[in-house]
Structures are given as structure tokens and as C-alpha cells.
Structure 1
């Protein structure tokens, strides 16, 4: 099992405690206010019965980039909802990259778009997340 503290060393506390993203082998490529890029190599155990990447794995990657882009302040931001559209299939061995960007915020809510591409830059999914800023402080 991957130790998230080692995998995400130097990252914000949110990711240091994110065992799911670490177990899936996600790598933070960029972490800026309102924007994040996270990549993941698709493993055999991430495919479905048709031999293509399980949609839940693509969603998890997009959701992690979304969470990073949202959580750039002093309060914990959580997902209020999200939708994903799958545009192309991928397979084991491919590297997927999720690029999340803040589109709009108003009060405690926000909208973020995430584009997931393969190693050739082909768009494989589009994700829209809706955020809610809580009144809680992040751990650590």
C-alpha cells in the first residue's frame, strides 16, 4: 500500500491525508490558487469488464484536481455536486491528466471545470464540479 504521507510529501495537508488519491497513484503536476493539474497512469486493476478505464477512476482523478483547485483558502471546501461526460475510452498503460480551473464563485459556492486528457492531449472527459465553502479549518 502506498503511504500517502510519502507520496504527497510537500503537498498541502488535504493531500497528505488523501489515501484514495495516493492509492490510485495520482501525481500533482500543478497546484495554484483556483487551478490544479493532476495525472494518473491507468493500471490493469482500474479497467472494467470491457478492458477500458472504469469511469469511476476517471471521475476520481477529475474530482481530486477539482478538490485541489477549490481548496486554496483558509476554510475547507467540499463538493456540493459534480457531473462528468465521457468522450473517449482509455486503457491500461495510458496516462490521464486532469486540469481543473475555477470558473466562478459567489458567496460560499463555486463552479469549477475539469478537462481530462490522455497522453496525446485528446480530451477523454469533461467534468463540472460545484463547490461549497464550509466554516471548518483544514487539518494540520
Structure 2
């Protein structure tokens, strides 16, 4: 088994047991080196007063996708800063897909982006974040 295969197995295990990811119903769709694709439904628990996706739920999905993309490189990270652009309203019952990509893989910091798409493949959120490298896996 390659290091990436071991890392993928480890990420599937820890994220399937993570209470926050489980609460928001985030699921791993695909993992590659430097890339993570996640899905999340928009249910009542994800919505604001207008029955649209809450910005905090969307930020959590974006942060998780980018952080997971960083961890696919074998590094443990924490978020230093994050910027989000909310582009389109997301009504309840939509299904979202977040694609996180590492764009800078440094020894001390990493930078990643995430685009989140609705179930008709329209861009609804675009995000970028800087992460601090705290260590390595294995």
C-alpha cells in the first residue's frame, strides 16, 4: 500500500468519526494528492432564517475541503485565514459538491482554494485559505 493509500484510509476513518463533519453530513467523494472532493446536502439544519444555506455551514464545508486537500499531501494543518465569496443563493434540499485544491505546498504554510457547486453544477461559493503546517502524518 502506498503512503497516499494509507493516508486516504486514515482520512476516511477520522472524518467518518468526526462529530462536526457527521453533524453537517459531509462526505468524502474523492481524494487525490493535493485535491479533495466532498459533498454535503442542504437540509433544514443547514439553513438560515430565509431557508437558504447558512453562510457558516458553507464556510465549514469550504474549510474542510481545503484542509483535507492539504492533508492529502501528508501534512497536518490548521487554518490561518479564509476568504469566501458567496455567489448564489442555495435553497434547502440542494446537494453541494466542494472541490478543494492545494495551490501552494510550502514547508510552513499552504494555500488552497475551494469551489462549491450546487446540484446543477453552478458555482455557488468560491473560497481561498492559508494554512499553517503543524506536522506530518506517519
TM-score, normalised to structure 1, is 0.84
Alignment of 1:1-140 (within 5 A): 10-12=9-11, 13-135=13-135
- Between the two proteins, the alignment pairs up a number of residues equal to 129
Equivalent pair of 2:34/2:73 in contact (CA under 8 Å): no
Runs (5+) with no aligned partner, structure 1:
1-9
Tell me how far 1:16 sits from its aligned partner: 4.2
- In the aligned structure 2, how far is the partner of 1:76 from the partner of 1:117? 26
Equivalent pair of 2:31/2:72 in contact (CA under 8 Å): no
Tell me how far 1:106 sits from its aligned partner: 2.8
TM-score, normalised to structure 2, is 0.85
Tell me how far 1:105 sits from its aligned partner: 2.4
Q: Does the residue aligned with 1:21 lie in a helix, a strand or coil?
A: helix
Runs of 4+ in 1 over 3 A off after TM superposition: 135-138
Which deviates more from structure 2 when the two are superposed, residues 72-81 or residues 41-50?
72-81
Tell me how far 1:73 sits from its aligned partner: 4.3
Greater share of helix residues, 1 or 2?
Answer: 2
- In the aligned structure 2, how far is the partner of 1:56 from the partner of 1:50? 14
How large is the Cα RMSD of the aligned pairs? Answer: 1.7
